[in-house]
Amino acid sequence: MFPELVRFTWQAEDQSGRKVELEDTEQLEQIDDDPDVRITSMLIVNKEKVRTNIFTCLVQHDSSVDDQSVIVPRVKDVTMTQTCSVPKIGEEEEEKFMTSGVLEFSRSLYLFSVTYLILLVKNVLYFCTISVLLCKTNAAIPT
């Protein structure tokens, strides 16, 4: 196995500048061994921590002595408001496409049902015809 070329360390500071402990479940590292080795590090936190903390990712390369620091910018607080807006033209076309897809599916299901019913009727007629012929041949034979 290759030695670790890059190490990631996540740090968080609250609004007063104190260090906040990050849990191991919030940190995720992934190593892809495709033609090139790629290491990805992610921090998964809830909305409350994002609003109140400043996150920093420290990247340490084995070949260099200095650590590189990347400060993660804060996301502006986006409040979710529900509005009743008129659907856009693209959304209407998408709804029509979805509806036509459902109609196409129901049409093919209808054709399948009709075909299946025709085959059942054909089998019933076949067995009735065979039964009548067998009865007539049995009645025609003198015992």
* Residues near 121 by beta carbon (within 8 Å), at least 6 away in sequence: none
- The answer to the question of residue 123 being in a domain is yes
How many other C-beta atoms are found inside a 10 Å radius of the C-beta of residue 55?
Answer: 19
Domain limits at 107? 89-143
Alpha carbons within 13 angstroms on the beta-carbon side of residue 13 total 11
> Per the domain annotation, does 81 fall within a domain?
no
What is the SS3 assignment for 20? strand
Q: 3-class DSSP state for residue 12?
A: strand
| Domains in the chain, number | 2
The pLDDT score that the predictor gives to residue 133 is 94
pLDDT given for residue 52 in this prediction = 80
Q: What is the mean pLDDT of each run of 10 residues along the chain (143 residues)?
A: 66 82 77 74 79 80 67 60 54 59 74 94 98 91 72
What was the pLDDT predicted at 116? 96
Q: What is the pTM of this model?
A: 0.43
Can you spell out the DSSP letters for 87-114?
PPHHHHHHHHHHHHHHHHHHHHHHHHHH
80 domain residue, yes or no: no
Using the 3D structure, point to which of 18, 42, 72 is the last residue of a domain.
72
Q: In this predicted structure, what is the pLDDT of residue 126?
A: 98
Q: What is the pLDDT of residue 1?
A: 39
